[in-house]
């Protein structure tokens, strides 16, 4: 879903690896923030494409942050991340405040594409059309100030 670019919410994210991130700190990169759950079949089905997308674009300034929903089991999230060898940042929305800040509907997966200026430029409810997502990432990466 195309959106009029709007500032991404200012949030702090603690990854499973202990890294502290914030949307402000990710400025200058094109970022896909993905909300998912270990019990969500569609979420797990899209992970291989998310991995491929991350590997394709990461060398050019692209980042993926996969945030497991509040009710997910941290142990299961860590197991899924390890078993699937996820090469991107994984976090858990322990209090539900991250999803609330982004305005996530009560479905998963939901992804937000954020441009280099920290603006949400696309929202994908359900698995994205990967060719369209790749085009949107290419466009966002093409403009250093975008």
What are the pLDDT digits (tens) for 63-74? 999 999 988 999
Output the pTM of the full model: 0.93
Edge-first strand order for the sheet with 2-7 is 2-7, 119-125, 110-114, 30-36, 62-68, 89-92
Asked whether residue 39 is domain-assigned, the answer is yes
Taking each helix axis as running N to C, give the angle between helix 41-57 and helix 130-142, from 0 to 180 degrees, rounded to the nearest 10: 40
Residue 93 belongs to domain spanning: 2-140
Q: Which residues lie across from 63 on neighbouring strands? A: 31
Q: Which of 2, 5, 3, 111 is nearest to 49 (CA)?
A: 111
CATH classification of the domain holding 68 = 3.40.30.10
More confident residue, 94 or 137: 137
pLDDT value of position 3: 55
Number of domains in the chain: 1
Asked whether residue 10 is domain-assigned, the answer is yes
Tens digits of residue pLDDT in 36-92:
999 999 999 999 999 999 999 999 999 999 999 988 999 999 999 999 999 999 999
- Per-residue pLDDT band for 146 (boundaries 50, 70, 90) equals very low
pLDDT value of position 46: 97
């Amino acid at each position: 879903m195309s959106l009029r670019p709007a500032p991404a919410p200012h949030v702090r994210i603690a990854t499973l690896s202990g890294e502290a991130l914030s949307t402000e700190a990710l400025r200058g990169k094109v970022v896909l923030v993905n909300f998912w759950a270990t019990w969500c079949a569609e979420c797990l089905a899209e992970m291989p494409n998310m991995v491929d997308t991350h590997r394709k674009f990461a060398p050019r300034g692209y980042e993926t942050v996969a945030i497991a929903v509040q009710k997910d089991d941290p142990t299961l999230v860590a197991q899924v991340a390890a078993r699937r060898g996820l090469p991107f940042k994984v976090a858990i929305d322990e209090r539900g405040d991250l999803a609330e800040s982004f305005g996530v509907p009560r479905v998963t997966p939901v992804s937000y594409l954020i441009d280099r200026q920290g603006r949400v430029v696309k929202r994908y409810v359900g698995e994205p059309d990967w060719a369209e997502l790749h085009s949107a990432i290419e466009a966002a990466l093409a403009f250093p100030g975008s």
